[in-house]
Amino acid sequence: MGASAQAQASLTGSVFRSEQSRAELLVHAPEGVAPGKPLWLGLQVEHAPDWHSYWKNSGDSGLPTELQWRLPQGVEAAGIAWPTPRKFPLGDLANYGYDGTVLLPVPVTVKPDFRGTHLDVGLYATWLICRKECIPEEANLTLRLPVDGSSALHGQAFQAALDANPKNAPAGQSTLAARNDKLEVSLHGLPEDWQGRPLEFFPETEGLIVPGAAWQQTWKGGTWQASIPLSPQRSDSPTDVPLVVTLANPPGKGPGLTGIAMTVPVSGGWPPVASSPVGASDALNAALARNAERASSATATNTLSLWAALLGALIGGIILNLMPCVFPVLAIKVLAFARHGDQHATHRASGLAYTAGVVLSFLALGGVLLALRAAGEQLGWGFQLQNPAVVAALAALFTVIGLNLAGLFEFGTVLPSSLAGLQLRHPVADAFLTGVLATAVASPCTAPF
């Protein structure tokens, strides 16, 4: 295929990064952008280890990923072609979703009235990503795709996502029935190599069952049967239930094993629904109650823990003064006190200025760290000490300070007389700069160990 046929989309603004995930807007247009040609867009989410996001029915808790498209006239996006999910047991709860890397593909239709040399795509995506805690994330992503070229760079990723999409199957003789607060499931026509193996059951209707509850399943010939507890907060009594079944305990990460999707009719009636709108499930309420109980028991020890932390910080500060990266600061301050003798007001003002120099220096360092992290850099505290140039500059500074304290030279003899005089005339400014210097001298003690 020629170079012009392999024109790449401009990916500026198509990537989102956080500590929990990396999300990218992808496109697959193997025959270019034209009416009747295949065109796919998708959000690919790479989860950090132990984190997951959610399927269209999130289970006991969570929220499904939502995609809001901004497309030009004549271009329409359909809904997400959801890959088969996994089940994530969390104590008494269970969620449905994905870990590892997952691509949520969306088919796009180009109509005959579309005009333009480029296809400009905008996407506002929101997703909830959870470990034990949950963090809502959002991203505004954009890309520009040339109409005449093709974009097949991510073809394998889209093919894998479509392969993981549940395969539609007719309900046939399959039935569902609500009896004695249980959903009785009987499915026919499942793959022969599934027979005798445990399956997972994912209803698309939220709040229908209790995802984290124990349930029974069995095979009778080629028929899979299961009895699953109904949710007491159920607010719907559907006549048909769209669902996905797949083999349990899939290996690896990402989507589950390719499942079977079918819409199964419900025979008979339903028990009375909850009189109020669907709320938290009993399992979720029990989990929240346990969390509240832990929080109340921890409140009694919070005050003691605070005082213990303050005492530990005080002892740590005393010990820190004896470390090589802090001890030179004491010598600098002793020389400053000796320079001003019995001028108590000057000492007080200098102490405040010195403190301001230290605090503002750390605020500036923290601001630089936050700005770099906001720009997508994966940095932590003490990042500057992983830079050889910074380490070399600090080594040179320590050498100069050591030679000065050893009496081999005085700063007054090497600095211009005007600068040395300024130091004497403005002791408060000198104290502020000493605080800045102290931050630099003590910075090795803030490095990651």
pTM above 0.95, yes or no: no
- CA separation (Å) from 436 to 104, 263, 363, 390? 50, 69, 11, 16
Q: Where are the domains of the chain?
A: 4-165, 175-267, 301-446
pLDDT at 449 over 50: no
pLDDT confidence bin for 42, thresholds 50/70/90? very high
Q: What is the mean pLDDT of residues 57-78?
A: 94
- CA 130 vs CA 97, 134, 139: distances in Å: 10, 4, 17
**CB burial class (10 A; 0-12, 13-18, 19+) of residue 73?**
exposed
Q: Which pLDDT belongs to residue 102?
A: 97
292 exposure class (CB count in 10 Å sphere: 0-12, 13-18, 19+): exposed
What topology does CATH give the domain 4-165? Immunoglobulin-like (2.60.40)
Q: What is the mean pLDDT of the chain?
A: 82
* pLDDT class of 216 with cuts at 50, 70, 90: very high
Report phi then psi at 242, rounded to 5: -75, 135
Ramachandran angles phi, psi of 112, nearest 5°: -60, -25
**Residue 366, both tokens:** 């923290």
In angstroms, how far is CA 179 from the centroid of its own chain? 41
pLDDT category of residue 170 using cuts at 50, 70 and 90: very high
Q: How far is CA 198 from CA 55, 152, 224, 246, 249, in A?
A: 21, 38, 9, 9, 9
Specify the higher pLDDT residue, 165 or 1.
Answer: 165
Q: What is the DSSP letter of 61?
A: S
Is it the case that residue 354 has pLDDT exceeding 70?
yes
Question: What token pair was written down for 150?
Answer: 């093709």
Residue 431 reports pLDDT greater than 90:
no
Question: Which bin fits 378, alpha (ψ -120 to 50), beta or left (φ > 0)?
Answer: beta
Taking alpha carbons only, the member of 14, 51, 21, 15 closest to residue 137 is: 21
Nearest-angstrom CA–CA distance, 380 and 65: 29
- pLDDT tens figures, 87-97: 999 888 999 99
Whether 415 shows a pLDDT value over 60: the answer reads: no
Examine the pLDDT at 279 and tell me if it is beyond 60: no
Mean pLDDT over residues 375-384, rounded?
66
| Cα separation, 196 vs 178, whole angstroms | 24
Q: Which helix (H) or strand (E) holds 127?
A: strand 118-130
Structure token digits, residue 281: 């499930």
Q: Which residues are within 8 A (CB) of 317 and not within 5 positions of it... i.e. 6 or more apart? A: none
Share of the chain above pLDDT 70, in %: 78
Burial class of residue 377, CB neighbours in 10 A (0-12, 13-18, 19+): exposed
pLDDT score recorded for residue 281 = 52
Asked if 244 and 84 touch (Cβ cutoff 8 Å), the reply is yes
Other C-beta atoms within 10 Å of 209: how many? Answer: 25
Strand partners, 264: 241
Residue 171 has pLDDT above 80, yes or no: yes
pLDDT at 51 over 70: yes
Topology, domain 175-267: Immunoglobulin-like (2.60.40)
DSSP annotation string for 406-438: TTS--HHHHS-HHHHHHHHH-HHHHHHHHHHHH
Give me the pLDDT at residue 389, please: 85
The reply to whether 4-165 and 175-267 are identical in fold is yes
Return all residues near 401 (Cβ < 8 A) that are at least 6 apart. 328, 332, 441
The yes-or-no verdict on residue 192 having pLDDT over 90 is yes
Report how far residue 317's alpha carbon sits from residue 328's, in angstroms, rounded to the nearest whole number: 15
- Regarding predicted confidence, which is higher, 401 or 389? 389
Beta bridge partners of 127: 137
Which of the pair, 243 or 424, is modelled with greater confidence? 243
How many angstroms from the chain centroid is the CA of residue 320? 35
Specify the higher pLDDT residue, 438 or 286: 438
Contact 368, 360 (CB under 8 A): no
